[in-house]
Structure 1
Amino acid sequence: MIEESGKQEVKDLRSAIELLKAIPGQLIETDEPVEPLAELSGVYRHVGAGGTVMRPTRKGPAMIFNNVKGHEDAKVIIGLLASRERVGLLLNEKPERLGFLLNEAVKNPIQPVTVSKDKALCQEIVHYANEPGFDIRKLIPAPTNTEEDAGPYITMGMCYASDIETGESDITIHRLCLQSKDEISMFFTPGARHLGVFREKAEKLGKPLPISVSIGVDPAIEIAACFEPPTTPLGFDELSIAGAIRNQAVELAPCLTIGEKAIANAEYVIEGELLPGVYVREDQNTNTGKAMPEFPGYTGGAVAKVPVIKVKAVTHRKNPIMQTVIGSSEEHVSMAGIPTEASILQMVEKAMPGRLLNVYAHSSGGGKFMAVLQFKKSQPSDEGRQRQAALLAFSAFPELKHVFLVDEDVDLFDSNDVLWALTTRYQGDVDTIFIPGVRCHPLDPSNSPDFSPSIIDKGIACKTIFDCTVPYHLKDKFQRSKFMDVDPSRFVSELFNNK
């Protein structure tokens, strides 16, 4: 554990940064002036974006820009979660065990608590929207990923709101575009987020929905916020998962201008209201037809009609640190993929205990579309259960499109090893299971009638299982070459002593 090893305890963004500073190769800084318009993301593409970003890119350290043009009093950090190894460091868990950590956290939630104003670090500096000169575009150094973006986007905003009838609260991450000095557009994936239900209910009643957007928080919150149903059903506050990860309740502070709460130690908080019946065109300021890069690796189309947050105030810590992400980077894989892994582990373990050894939500699917399941067959009756596990994975995470099944001797985190299993343990005509006509995700551009006349509506996909496991009765004929088990650090200590 962090406490046992003497490492920095992580409780907010700043302590996360301090931890990474102490570990070689995990964080770099630059004082070189950088434009927030496309240039900042263009730099990080080469440094450490990874994911589905167009090559050349790579996994690399997180990066802090200390000199952002137009925002002399703020810094911007990007790539905090852009490697699985770094997420492991920040959550105090081995990278290959992160799905299990989150699975346990879901089962043992710790609810958030509200603290007094003197603990609200996020409110050290306050800017009210009714003050002269107020402009969120000047207060918040939100970058654009590309020159085609609809505008500056807040990509790591923890959106917190409550059901106006039941009082149940939830936190999620949404696409937030700065549209004017006091307006932000908010994109909702249809039917995929609890806050969408809260907004629709308030709109039907003709009431605004109070909402806070916390930026720059404990990474445990950012990961927990990405859980989805059925693992976290309507009414489940994902902040309780972050509390379980840290074994300490997340602290919330009452907002100053709306009847809602925000994360007390956030770097920035935007307070506002989702207005009933008010919509804007997402690219109204650029007319590019584009929104921003999304996790499948393509730039999402601008939506013609998106809801609007009317901003009431912006608060922040002294010398605030803005956090951002490239939409198609490895950072999205971490945030979306690790909760996906936990959801699949939970559902399959309930149905067939002990057989599913691990899950990896692969980078090529942005953490959402593709999963590799490591399944162990211990007896003849286990044959066929691996395919049942794949079906359960689709139920655990409905946006999943492709599942690869591999045996226990395959490293599911190594794409070359998975492709080896696909090459030597798979026959296309007998080991491919097609499930056509199933709802998936609208951001997959191949899920469209334009792509194939067999697709009846945008967002409907053919889900596919690739069974790359050896039939149980043939396991003795598919033994991998056995090498001597040695300690390599005796011979090349510089490569292995730090692992």
Structure 2
Amino acid sequence: MSDQPAPVNDLRSALALLERHPGQLHTTDHPIDPYGELAGVYKRVGAGGTVERPTRVGPAMLFENVKGYPGARILVGLLASRNRVGLLLDCPPRELTRRMTDAVRNPVEPVFVGADQSPCQEVVHRADADGFDLRTLLPAPTNTDQDAGPYFCEALVLGSDPDTGHTDVTIHRLCVQDKDEISIFFAPGRHIDAFRKKAEARGKALPVSINIGLDPAVYLGTSFEAPTTPLGFDELTIGGSLRGEGVQLVDCLTVDQKAIARAEIVIEGEILPEVRVAEDQNTNTGHAMPEFPGYDGPANPSLPVIKVKAVTTRKDAIVQTLVGPGEEHVSLAGIPTEAAVLRMCEDEYPGFVQQTYAHSSGGGKFLQVVQVKKTSDFDDGRARQVGVLALGIYTELKHVVLVDEDVDPFDTEDVLWAMTTRFQADKDLVVLPGVAGHVLDPSQTPQYNPALPAKGVTAKMVYDATRPYGLRDMFTRARFRDVDPRPWYPDYEE
């Protein structure tokens, strides 16, 4: 019998792989409340990211005894570690950026399979026949006691352009509002929202599938944004490229849409035209849920509604979730962002950008460290051009820190050292005022800065912490012998 693990092509094979690596997955049958308690536990064990301290990077956790939901299981933190993402994609963590860049350049189209090849339809609940209640059927967790309601936090919405049929997939904020209704929040510029508006203009609903519990390659591939993946680009092709085979899709049972065949759970429904609800209509908390910048997002007073037609699942299905501001969001949003910036910079300046890193303190979106290699005085200006280019490539990016090739972009202490000793504020700071940013940053509001015209507009910054090429000898780091310490310290690890 082969000792090699089965290839990863869904969530269960991903968990089987992690079980072979000590410290990467912790399974518990101690009873857990999905409302506030689960996130409170994982906040300490492994959330990381911009979560209020104390927190840390730790294992993924699988809870197998969920209060109020006999037989249900909830997984949190699958991607809440860059090292774990590397294991799941069979790639060294520092090479994930280039791996993702290659996947964008070499897309693999999805493949369509029948119901007999689709584990996501092993168990079927139809709204018209079963009269189910989402609130008791599936354990959608809350992160905090202030949440607007229970959320499906790691659910991939699949929708299609009513004009062209092109498909888009994106993770959105989904709050369970009633027995068969879910509100959906769209940040500005999301493609499925554009599809919804087209359908609504015709007085029609937009059919969608909500896919939960997936191969991590699918989640990562679908987290790219324009301009890397413009309107009409199917991000499922990136997940297919990462695995070397197309993502399997199956026809939904009750709406004219596709679903991811190997998902743990699929919620089939339609985004209704001209129907809006307040996100916190059932709780009146004024808050939505904790978002990636580390703050509670405000409850939106008017959101579109998904009317649920069916829920299909695997047997013993796993609800996959995340802690909003945690390291899992950094992986989901940040690694594709790194790849988008690196890809564009390589196209413009081949060989100049060595590495990019979407830092955890920016939630994967706001802060990126870009490592460059200068070979001439002209490259002093080219480095800053790269910083501006990065801000232009990714609208939501707010700050770029430029470092030299002798600085490790993944090492915060090393980056701060460069920012301290290779920077003068009146010379090396490039500020771009009044630029489109992200609505979930509370500093990007006219209340914070009256000079801003609207929420989601900001000043952006390139922090040039590179040494001037002509003065590079003044900035040479102290050189030590490269000695293998293991004869003296056998426990040493790189």
TM-score past 0.5 threshold: yes
- The DSSP-based 3-state class of the residue aligned with 1:384 is helix
Q: Where in structure 2 are the equivalents of 1:123-202 lying within 5 Å?
A: 123-191=121-189, 193-202=190-199
Structure 2 residues not aligned, in runs of 5+? none
Q: Which residue of 2 aligns with 1:296?
A: 293
Q: Which residue of 2 aligns with 1:29?
A: 27
Instruction: Say whether 1:393 aligns with 2:390.
Output: yes
Q: Which residue of 2 aligns with 1:244?
A: 241
Alignment deviations for residues 251-305 of structure 1 (CA, whole Å, 9 cap, x no partner): 0011000111100010000000001111110000000010000000001000010
Q: Which residue of 1 aligns with 2:313?
A: 316
Q: Where in structure 2 are the equivalents of 1:353-432 lying within 5 Å?
A: 353-432=350-429
Q: Which shows bigger deviation, 487-496 or 471-480?
A: 487-496
- The DSSP-based 3-state class of the residue aligned with 2:17 is helix
| Matched-pair contact (CA < 8 Å) for 2:278–2:300 | yes
Q: Which residue of 1 aligns with 2:437?
A: 440
Q: Which residue of 1 aligns with 2:56?
A: 58
Q: Which amino acid aligns with 2:306?
A: I
Residue 133 of structure 1, CA deviation? 4.3
Q: Which amino acid aligns with 2:7?
A: E
Q: Report the number of matched residues.
A: 493
Q: Which shows bigger deviation, 473-482 or 168-177?
A: 473-482
Residue 131 of structure 1, CA deviation? 2.9
Q: Which amino acid aligns with 2:67?
A: K
Q: Which amino acid aligns with 1:358?
A: Q
| Matched-pair contact (CA < 8 Å) for 2:64–2:71 | no
Q: Which residue of 2 aligns with 1:68?
A: 66
Instruction: Say whether 1:336 aligns with 2:333.
Output: yes
Instruction: Say whether 1:286 aligns with 2:245.
Output: no
Q: C-alpha distance in 2, partners of 1:17/1:307?
A: 34
Residue 10 of structure 1, CA deviation? 1.1
Alignment deviations for residues 399-444 of structure 1 (CA, whole Å, 9 cap, x no partner): 1000000000001001111000011110111000110000100000
- The DSSP-based 3-state class of the residue aligned with 2:170 is strand
Alignment deviations for residues 124-161 of structure 1 (CA, whole Å, 9 cap, x no partner): 00000123440111111110000110111001111101
- The DSSP-based 3-state class of the residue aligned with 1:245 is helix
- The DSSP-based 3-state class of the residue aligned with 1:494 is coil
Q: C-alpha distance in 2, partners of 1:116/1:130?
A: 23
Q: Which residue of 2 aligns with 1:452?
A: 449
**What is the Cα-based RMSD across aligned positions, in Å?**
1.2
Alignment deviations for residues 324-360 of structure 1 (CA, whole Å, 9 cap, x no partner): 0011000000000001001100111111110000000
Q: Which amino acid aligns with 2:418?
A: A
Query: Which of 336, 344, 348 is the equivalent residue of 2:345?
Result: 348
Q: C-alpha distance in 2, partners of 1:79/1:478?
A: 41
Residue 494 of structure 1, CA deviation? 3.1
Q: Which residue of 2 aligns with 1:486?
A: 483
Change (3 A) 1:75 1:495: farther
Query: Which of 104, 107, 112 is the equivalent residue of 2:105?
Result: 107
Residue 486 of structure 1, CA deviation? 2.5
Residue 208 of structure 1, CA deviation? 0.6
Q: Which residue of 2 aligns with 1:235?
A: 232
Q: C-alpha distance in 2, partners of 1:249/1:50?
A: 32
Q: Which residue of 2 aligns with 1:461?
A: 458
Structure 1 residues not aligned, in runs of 5+? none
Q: Which residue of 2 aligns with 1:47?
A: 45
Q: C-alpha distance in 2, partners of 1:215/1:207?
A: 26
Q: Which residue of 2 aligns with 1:217?
A: 214
